[in-house]
Amino acid sequence: MSSNSTSSTSQQTTIDNEKLQRFMGKILSDFGGAASSVLVYIGDKLGLYKAMSDFGKPITSQELANLSATSERYIREWLANQAAGGYLTYDPSSQTYNLPIEHAQVLANENSPLYAAGGFQVLMSFYRDEPKILNVFKTGKGISWEDHDKDLFEGTGKFATLIYTANLVNSWIPALDNGKVEQRLRQQGTRGLKVADIGCGYGTSTILMAKAYPNSKFYGFDNHAASIEYAKNKAKEEGLGEDRIQFEVASSANFPLPQQEGIEMEKVGEEAGYDLITFFDCLHDMDDPQGAAAHSLSALKKPDGVVMIVEPFANDKLEDNLNPLGRMMYAASTMICIPTSLSQNGPALGAQAGEAGISKVVKAGGFKHFKRAAQTSFNIVYEAKDQ
């Protein structure tokens, strides 16, 4: 008995050195990525990638310093880091660095659907919010959206632009109700559809839809006043008047009906409701997602109103999310989604709630019809209807 116990203990404490070294290699890679993400953020803030892209040919550290009005010694070290990470290429014979045109689409071209600078801005907010996150781990409390570092708001807006520009009008809306929603949005006439974008943030999704469907009226609602103010100013910059788009501070469970003239109260839901209500990457963050679903159902025009819910891609089982995307999503969920919901005593669904989790909430809100309408590598689009 004693011999077997000793043998078992010995087996448990035997270290597989090869496995250990592989794990240390992963740690080293993560160290490099985490440290370098700050330098990518700095490169974007100082316009270094843009300067290299505009330069159009391999560049020396001194030339880049001159173009960006920065210190050559810091630029020299920054360039070396970026080359070591594969973001830039280096030619030792000429001691010049180059930003490949493919990489420029991700790092320098703000009009590219792959522009990822916003993601690094979000990461910076994680670092700055670490003391707050550490505290809520101990207390179990939350952090409201407005109490996060401002880079979270700006970075989320930029990153959302990347994803929504590529998919929203091209594939997500066309997938709703077998294409009927898009047909109705595009049809000519004096009375277009009325669309409510709930949790609109900086208004990225609302503005994209308003520009794509000029015959319809769009309303953006969010409980974060600073985001609504930004959205209003952005809409003006885009040339969208209040006859096309309006933004208002409002709760997801109590946003107002669209303004209608001459509609009797008993016809609310028949004529005065919204034709389409959207939730972009926000339902899982809310304090009362079931209440938001229930209020959306009451605010829909009957019988053809549709709710579109865009959520981060997630499988229902945790073990099926243990991959690079799941890793990123669980990190974002820990830092943003869970604290936001808990700050209002919400259910803390998390960014990886999955189809089963979202379906349960939506059906509990009264919807009879719920299905997956579309998906990408990063998102799943759900459709909910009264019947």
- Is residue 120 assigned to a domain? no
CATH of the domain at 171: 3.40.50.150
- Is residue 211 assigned to a domain? yes
Task: Mark which of 57, 76, 109 sits at the end of a domain.
Answer: 109
Q: Are residues 17 and 104 in the same domain?
A: yes
Contacts of 124 (CB under 8 A, 6+ apart): 37, 38, 41, 149, 151, 155
CATH of the domain at 103: 1.10.10.10
> Distance between CA atoms of 286 and 288, rounded to whole angstroms?
5
Q: Are residues 150 and 89 in the same domain?
A: no
- Is residue 300 assigned to a domain? yes
Give the pLDDT band (50/70/90) at residue 272.
Answer: confident
Task: Mark which of 75, 109, 143 sits at the end of a domain.
Answer: 109
- Is residue 217 assigned to a domain? yes
Give yes or no for residue 17 having a pLDDT over 90.
Answer: yes
Q: Parallel, antiparallel, or unpaired: how do β-strands 217-222 and 245-249 relate?
A: parallel
- Is residue 367 assigned to a domain? yes
Q: Into how many domains does the chain fold?
A: 2
The amino acid present at 305, given as its one-letter code, is G
Q: Are residues 59 and 146 in the same domain?
A: no
pLDDT digits (tens, 9 = 90+) for 294-313: 999 999 998 899 999 999 99
Give yes or no for residue 332 having a pLDDT over 70.
Answer: yes
- Is residue 114 assigned to a domain? no
Q: Are residues 98 and 166 in the same domain?
A: no
Rg (CA), the chain: 24
Task: Mark which of 42, 77, 109 sits at the end of a domain.
Answer: 109
Residue 38 structural domain: 2-109
Give yes or no for residue 183 having a pLDDT over 80.
Answer: yes
Q: Are residues 318 and 352 in the same domain?
A: yes
